[in-house]
Amino acid sequence: IKCKAAVAWEAGKPLSIEEVEVAPPKAHEVRIKIVATAVCHTDAYTLSGADPEGCFPVILGHEGAGVVESVGEGVTKVKKGDTVIPLYIPQCGECKFCKNPKTNLCQKIRITQGKGVMPDGTSRFTCKGKQLYHFMGTSTFSEYTVVADISVAKIDAAAPLDKVCLLGCGISTGYGAAVNTAKVEPGSTCAVFGLGGVGLAVIMGCKIAGASRIIGIDINKDKYAKAKEFGATECISPQDSKKPIQEVLVEMTDGGVDYSFECIGNVGVMRAALEACHKGWGVSVIVGVAAAGQEISTRPFQLVTGRTWKGTAFGGWKSVDSVPKLVTEYMSKKIKVDEFVTHTLPFDKINEAFELMHSGK
């Protein structure tokens, strides 16, 4: 199939809309017509050149939704015409990770996915005679993409694809960080650092879990109104006090919060989030992805005195099983999705979408 795709030819350059060729799916692969895609900071991180796994030229994108165009040999879970969301964390159901209820980190195709190729070691994309790499096993910045059959979730055909594409990463990640990883309890006090899409999803998860106090933290005060719509009870800026933010939070909450979440990817903020937790039982979850090679630090006494530091990927959801259920929760109005969409742009304006994201709009 010849179609349009946004190609990242090299690091640090804008994406270029090109005609690409998308090869048919091989055994245990699925070719999807992508109807809608969202942009995420993870795409921008790889595009910046800071990602050690980044390969160029590449078709980025990992928050998408579409319809199955064709399937390769041996594919049984989906068929032509099915409505689907591609998954950057697959679920093979066979590896020791999939068999363990404690994790969602399927490792079946991790090595090839990290190298930007399909499980057989080759690419399905070419442009101007050059092979293009895949990204996160999804490559949703293309009108057609090919994914492994374990990297696709069949969803309700009635779901609006320009909304549920967000369940492919950001909303699911934040919501799951609260309900799966932290297991926020009714009546608890929570602090959420970073009020972008993921932070708002964490706030939504804390509210659904019954938290009584949810403090949003961001230096951009334009984000406070939206955070309160999602359930934040108050919002503060670290720039409004001479004291470190963790000290401010400890004072505000009589000793610290029960749960904190870092949704930025800043190692200094990760430390603040842990130290804002209550002695004896506070849990801090790292949701944001820090740049390669960075390290976290705190005094061991913080942990000795009963705080727990955790991390989460895709909110702990086992992807093939959970994404269809998340779509159903959205369709039944249990979780918000529409409210996360600030702008809808045509595909050829994708660079503008990244500019809007970087400007915090």
Contact 137, 147 (CB under 8 A): yes
pLDDT at 84: 98
Integer angstrom CA distances of residue 198 from 178, 230, 232: 11, 12, 14
Average confidence (pLDDT) over 105-116: 97
Closest CA to 64 of 152, 184, 180, 131: 152
pLDDT at 51: 86
pLDDT digits (tens, 9 = 90+) for 189-221: 999 999 999 999 999 999 999 999 999 999 999
pLDDT greater than 90 at residue 361: no
- In this structure, the chain runs to a length of 361
258: left (phi over 0), alpha (psi -120 to 50) or beta: alpha
**What is the Rg, in whole angstroms, of the alpha carbon atoms belonging to the chain?**
20
Cα–Cα distance for residue pair 207/190, rounded to 1 Å: 10
Cα–Cα distance for residue pair 310/181, rounded to 1 Å: 8
Q: Which long-range contacts (CB under 8 A, 24 or more apart) does 217-220 make?
A: 217/191, 217/192, 217/193, 217/245, 217/249, 218/193, 218/194, 220/195, 220/360
Residues 170-189: b if buried by 16+ CB within 10 A, e if exposed: bbbbbbbbbbbbbebeeebb
pLDDT digits (tens, 9 = 90+) for 130-177: 999 999 999 999 999 999 999 999 999 999 999 999 999 999 999 999
Q: How confident is the model at residue 292 (pLDDT cuts 50, 70, 90)?
A: confident
pLDDT at 50: 87
How much of the chain is helix, strand and coil, in % rounded to 5? 35, 25, 45
234-236 and 213-217 strand pairing: parallel
DSSP character at residue 121 = S
Give DSSP secondary structure letters for 61-116.
--EEEEEEEEE-TT--S--TT-EEEE-SS---S-SHHHH-TT-----TTHHHHHTT
pLDDT digits (tens, 9 = 90+) for 44-58: 999 998 888 899 999
pLDDT digits (tens, 9 = 90+) for 49-98: 888 889 999 999 999 999 999 999 999 999 999 999 999 999 999 999 99
Domains of the chain by range and CATH? 2-168+318-359 (3.90.180.10), 173-313 (3.40.50.720)
